Structure 1
């Protein structure tokens, strides 16, 4: 049976992902998925995608705005593009998307069914049903506008869809997973992300079973007109209501900057220490770009956590934006040289693993394990000092944002002379 794993507030943002970042997101997202399948299998990838905290961290590590509703659209789009060339080999397919792309889901599932031999009709029914549940059975003030359907060659699936509330400028993301459901109307979600909107009608909650049955009985015995009369007559009666279950809640603020309060600093210190102590020993033959390699190991440590980390590790998705920055310069411009190096190392590791040499993937796992051990005792820079250092080095790392390339900082003596 599916259970909710938490909720999150997602500010509704407009805009687009620039081509230079979109291509990198597709490449990095695809190779992370390949690494997860290589290490843990296709069902584990579906389970990760169905976890709202992991999903947000996944988008953050790819350089997307760490807190934005746009993470949902950009991650699904990146995976759809990035996994397409290897989808038959990997056995993982991505359908749907935003707007008109969501309406292409049935056709895409039909094509996959014919090619792979899974029951497309049942998957199409599933796609339509989960969309109907989130748009009709759950009346929470959000209108669905995005529907992403992930399916494996075994016919297992995860659905990630999102609705918007334009009045409040907020979005809510819904997660479904075939591995954890007993039926479609008895708490089928693995999680629902979004802002608290007061009282919500949710007929999929298991506590609503009596209500569902009573509604059918009322319709069959009284009819709609008598139901309205009965409601008017009983309007002054107050029936006690069971309180909603308390769930972990991730609140993503409507601000762009990343603050120290958004990050578990001890985990950041563990990552930095592991990169310094474990990285150079494990990656001497892969770090070939002068002046960039050491910084790349820091990003690889965060990517390794996305591949290997347990659910509790993703309660601070902002921390993963420290791997490759953000397109809006928060927490700092995307270090494109580091980003490209990360992709190259991961691609090399996955390709070698396919040929039977899993040493590099194993080194990434050791990097993650080392970070967890060191975070208990490691010390490091303050969060503000760390950001200042990254921004000072941004130009040498190929820093880029929607505002353009970062320029080299002007020497202090020259700047004073000019003044």
Structure 2
């Protein structure tokens, strides 16, 4: 098999499980890859709530079950994009600091990042809530909703100033809550995997837990890196010659050490040369491979 890629936009993204199931892989490897694909997408959709909607998902993997996930989300209001990078190697948890990087040009003021290690108490309290009777959770939720106007008088007054996508949901998927109660998940990762446990219900559990138990919320954006040479608005950053030379040199080394045929290598090197000419003018000398 070598290295394979499954996913894309729209139906190509949601069809990853079927695509993996068709491949000549061991059943255990298939199930592990399908779970990695589904859970990474669900985490970046429901557990990291940053106002960016996922529209592209791809999983790169081999026959040994080693995998990496890259997915991209778009802020529908500001039209900024960000990418979420996952690596299966060394991953200890899907729900606590799981990303290799979250890449974007914009740092949001408020992000409900329940994968933050600082939100461990919120995850634990959310799990405890669903393991109690749904009726008890409903009473707590209704109590919070009726007392929403008093939040300004508490240490959680910032909840009243949150952007709309992070405000307390008016409704919860009670079928998902009942399903979780019946399952009695042993940890937060298992809770997130419950069918129907979407962004609204995950957020409601976290906010109710924070209000009832007084847990502080870590609202920091997990973005760690910006795009290397330009923004998603199409405007490049000022060129740093040393950085660009390093990137092009790396790409040249990759091409030269690859298993490509001689003609393919020459074509790739010519494309790199063309890129250099566009950036630096005619100071680069002769075209390689001529």
Q: Partner residue of 2:30?
A: 120
Q: Which residue of 1 aligns with 2:11?
A: 100
1:237 corresponds to 2:168: no
Q: Secondary structure at the match of 2:231?
A: coil
Identify which of 129, 132, 147 aligns with 2:39: 129
1-side partners of 2:246 and 2:95: how far apart?
Answer: 43
The alignment's TM-score, normalised by the length of structure 2, stands at 0.59
Q: Which runs of 4 or more aligned residues in structure 1 lie more than 6 Å from their structure 2 counterparts after TM superposition?
A: 349-352
> How far off its partner does 1:349 sit?
6.3
1:266 aligns with 2:242: yes
**1:164 to 2:112 alignment:** no
Shift of 1:215: 2.0
Question: CA, structure 1 residues 255+141, in 2 after alignment: closer, same or farther (shift >3 Å)?
Answer: closer
* Higher normalized helix content (fraction of residues): 1
Q: CA deviation at 1:147?
A: 0.9
Matched residue of 2:64: which SS? coil
The answer on whether the counterparts of 1:180 and 1:190 sit within 8 Å (CA) in structure 2 is no
1:250–1:207 distance in 2 versus 1, CA, 3 Å: same
1-structure distance, mates of 2:67, 2:11: 21
Cα deviation, residue 270, structure 1: 7.5
- Counterpart for residue 347 of structure 1: 260
CA–CA distance in 2 between the matches of 1:253 and 1:351? Answer: 30
Answer yes or no: is 1:227 the counterpart of 2:227: no
Residues 121 and 238 of structure 1: CA distance in aligned 2, closer, same or farther (over 3 Å): same
Gaps of 5+ in 1: 1-87, 272-298, 308-341, 353-363, 365-382, 398-419
Task: State the match for 1:142 in structure 2.
Answer: 52
After TM superposition, list the pairs within 5 Å mapping 1:317-396 onto structure 2: 347-348=260-261, 387-389=280-282
1:250 aligns with 2:161: no
Higher relative contact order (Cα pairs below 8 Å, separated by 6+ residues): 1
CA distance in 2 between partners of 1:144 and 1:237 (Å): 34
In 1, the alpha carbon distance for the partners of 2:142 and 2:33 equals: 38
Contact preservation (8 Å) 1:96, 1:102: yes
Distance 2:113 2:41 in 1: 14
Structure 1 residues 117, 304: CA separation in 2 closer, same or farther (over 3 Å shift)?
A: farther
Q: Is the 1:102–1:148 contact (alpha carbons within 8 Å) kept by the matching residues of 2?
A: yes
Question: Which digits, 9 at most, give the CA deviation of each residue in 1:282-310, with x for residues without a partner?
Answer: xxxxxxxxxxxxxxxxx6x35135x3xxx
8 Å contact 1:140–1:200 — kept in the other structure? yes
Deviation, structure 1 residue 213: 1.5
User: 1:130, 1:99 → 2: CA distance?
Assistant: 16
Give RMSD over aligned pairs.
Answer: 4.0
TM-score by length of 1: 0.42
Q: C-alpha distance in 1, partners of 2:18/2:155? A: 48
Residues matched between the structures, number: 210
